[in-house]
């Protein structure tokens, strides 16, 4: 499979001659696809067509634009297994997980297709009796979408779908470990006959392609999901250009388990929260604070669940955790595990790279649990983005909440308890954009706002009706009647 750019409704070769191979992280000897890195000129071409297409696209009614999104959703449903298998081979996530992600993309597309039938403005009272005052929402223009590899289907869709329904056009750069999936997504838009230039895909590096999208004068807003370091660079650049920007960044998500909780359920969901998608989620549970009175029985339950995890190729039906996405990610996770050891934390499960007959061709790491962790340790403060969980013993709820909030991040948090008073106190005082009670830290639904606080987010929200705030601007209109 040779990957191309998708510009103005056509598949085009990138101008660069630099060939890149997309390798299967479960078997690095397998080349999933090849691509040629795009250049600044490729980006400029894509932006030119997106700007031209916006004149027609924004004139369509939102209902008409919604019909296109429904048809894209139909295409995804028709090709769900094909897309899921490709995504699993490209970035390692289990087939069951990528299939669920494709179906989640379908739900997002249908949700925003229906958003095209909602109001796009409001009538307002005026001080003058002969004045008709109202406000309408209008598209921003050309949106630059820069998406990550860990959710190669859902995250691009939850950026692209609202951008399009509100009348914008898109120039999209996926992460290098999600280029094959991105091409497949663009194919679905092409099969749905979305007008040329409305969605444009350019593959390449962040330093060249991403940077040009950010700096291009005809790109009016940037939506980015990825690392804090890159996000801060984007923010600095776009502020000087007076562009809108939306950043969803890292997390160090805590779970708190109180003595009145169902500890069996809490242990099960904590392991799921930490190890699903091999821990490569910004909402993954990475710290769990456990009251002293239940610490030992909770650990026993935790170990019982983690021991049932079967690591292997994500295409195999009996596997419950796949490889990590790349050599750099593999090395980084193992580096953090070594830091944890040096800090004095104790590994009670895992902690090793997996080798041998079934693992020597891929990037496999054991699910890892640390105890004897203090909240000031590096492994309790920095985002690892892998299957590593730190267990921290606390005296009470108050100590747990204080330590859970003691982080630069504020994406998601969960509390396991049957105490209603503490539940509402946690909801009010947890410094996280998303709060779960008796649920794991991950998970999002299309109709609900998604995003974090502190350094996890730039403050705007993705998904739900909240998305309209970023992808539109208000225009206030006053019409004065000349009739007396």
User: What is the pLDDT at residue 12?
Assistant: 92
Q: Give the mean pLDDT of 234-252.
A: 96
To the query of whether residue 382 is one of the catalytic residues in this protein, the response is no
Quote the CA–CA distance of 6 and 135 in Å, as a whole number. 36
CB contact burial 217-253 (16+ within 10 A = b; e otherwise): eebbbbbbbbbeebbebbbeebeeeebbbbbbbbbbb
Which of the following CATH numbers is that of domain 253-437: 3.40.50.1000, 3.40.50.2300, 3.40.309.10, 1.10.3210.10?
Answer: 3.40.309.10
CATH of 2-249+457-477, one of 3.40.50.300, 3.20.20.70, 3.40.50.720, 3.40.605.10: 3.40.605.10
Q: Please tell me the distance from the alpha carbon of residue 198 to that of residue 51, in angstroms, as a whole number.
A: 9
Beta bridge partners of 401: none
User: What are 277-303's pLDDT values in tens digits?
Assistant: 999 999 999 999 999 999 999 999 999
Q: Per the residue annotation, which of 90, 248, 440, 462 is the catalytic one?
A: 248
Which residues are bridge partners to 197 per DSSP? none
The 8-class DSSP code of residue 365 comes to B
CB-based contact 80:102 (threshold 8 Å): yes
* Residue boundaries of the structural domains of the chain: 2-249+457-477, 253-437
Q: In the predicted model, is pLDDT for residue 16 greater than 90? A: no
Q: Is the pTM of this model over 0.75?
A: yes
- Residue 484, pLDDT > 70, answer no
Helices (H), 79-127: 80-91, 95-115
**Residue 3 pLDDT more than 90?**
no
Helix axes 263-275, 295-306, angle to 10 degrees: 50
Statement: residue 401 has pLDDT above 70: yes
Give Cα separations from 227 to 58, 247, 384, 419 (angstroms): 32, 9, 11, 36
Angle at the Cα of 245 (from 244 to 248), degrees rounded to 5? Answer: 160
pLDDT at site 413: 98
Contacts of 259 (CB under 8 A, 6+ apart): 291, 293, 294
Element (H, E) at 307: none
Nearest to 38 by CA among 13, 60, 61, 57: 13
**pLDDT tens-digit profile of 442-475?**
988 999 999 999 999 999 999 999 999 999 999 9
User: What percent of the chain clears pLDDT 70, i.e. is strictly above it?
Assistant: 100
pLDDT value of residue 83: 98
DSSP 221-289: EEEEES-HHHHHHHHHHHHHTT-EEEEE----EEEEE-TTS-HHHHHHHHHHHHHGGGG-STT-EEEEE
Sign of CA dihedral 35, 36, 37, 38: negative
Classify 160 as helix, strand or coil. helix
| Same CATH fold assignment for domains 2-249+457-477 and 253-437 | no
Mean pLDDT of 156-183: 97
Q: How far apart are CA 479 and CA 4, in angstroms?
A: 49
* Higher per-residue pLDDT: 3 or 135: 135
């Amino acid at each position: 499979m040779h990957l191309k750019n998708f510009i103005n409704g056509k598949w085009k070769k990138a101008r660069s001659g630099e060939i890149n191979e997309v390798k299967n992280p479960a078997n690095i000897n397998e080349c999933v696809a090849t691509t040629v890195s795009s250049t600044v000129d490729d980006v400029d071409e894509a932006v030119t067509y997106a700007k031209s297409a916006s004149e027609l696209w924004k004139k369509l009614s939102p209902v008409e634009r919604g019909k296109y999104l429904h048809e894209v959703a139909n295409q995804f449903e028709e090709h769900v297994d094909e897309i899921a298998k490709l995504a699993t081979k490209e970035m390692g996530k289990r087939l069951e997980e990528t299939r669920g992600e494709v179906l989640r993309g379908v739900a997002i597309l249908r949700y925003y297709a229906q958003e095209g039938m909602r109001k796009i403005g409001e009538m307002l009272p005026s001080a003058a009796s002969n004045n008709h005052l109202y406000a309408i929402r209008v598209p921003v223009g050309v949106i630059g979408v820069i998406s990550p590899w860990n959710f190669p289907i859902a995250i691009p869709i939850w950026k692209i779908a609202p951008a399009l329904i509100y009348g914008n056009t898109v120039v999209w750069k996926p992460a290098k470990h999600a280029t094959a999936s991105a091409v497949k997504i663009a194919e679905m838009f092409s099969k749905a006959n979305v007008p040329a230039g409305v969605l444009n895909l350019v593959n390449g590096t962040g330093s060249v392609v991403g940077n040009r999208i950010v700096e291009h004068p005809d790109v009016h807003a940037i939506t980015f999901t990825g690392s804090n370091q890159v996000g801060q660079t984007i923010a600095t650049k776009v502020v000087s250009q007076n562009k809108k920007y939306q950043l969803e960044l890292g997390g160090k998500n805590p779970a708190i388990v109180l003595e009145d909780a169902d500890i069996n359920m809490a242990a099960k969901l904590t392991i799921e929260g930490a190890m699903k998608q091999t821990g490569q989620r910004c909402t993954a549970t990475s710290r769990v604070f456990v009251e002293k009175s239940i610490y030992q029985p909770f650990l026993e339950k935790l170990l019982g669940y983690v021991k049932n995890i079967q690591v292997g190729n994500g295409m195999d039906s009996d596997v419950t955790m796949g490889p990590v996405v790349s050599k750099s990610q593999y090395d980084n996770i193992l580096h953090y595990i070594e830091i944890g050891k040096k800090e004095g934390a104790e590994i009670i499960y895992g902690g090793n790279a997996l080798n041998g007959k079934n693992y020597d061709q891929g990037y496999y790491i054991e699910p890892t649990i640390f105890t004897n962790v203090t909240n000031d340790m590096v492994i309790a403060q920095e985002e690892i983005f892998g299957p590593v969980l730190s267990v921290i013993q606390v005296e009470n709820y108050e100590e747990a909440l204080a330590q859970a909030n003691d982080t630069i991040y504020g994406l998601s948090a969960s509390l396991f308890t049957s105490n209603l008073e503490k539940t509402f106190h946690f909801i009010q005082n947890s410094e996280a954009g998303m709060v779960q009670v008796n649920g794991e830290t991950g998970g999002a639904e299309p109709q609900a706002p998604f995003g974090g606080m502190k350094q996890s987010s730039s403050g705007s929200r993705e998904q739900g009706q909240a998305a309209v705030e970023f992808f539109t601007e208000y225009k206030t209109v006053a019409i004065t009647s000349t009739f007396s």
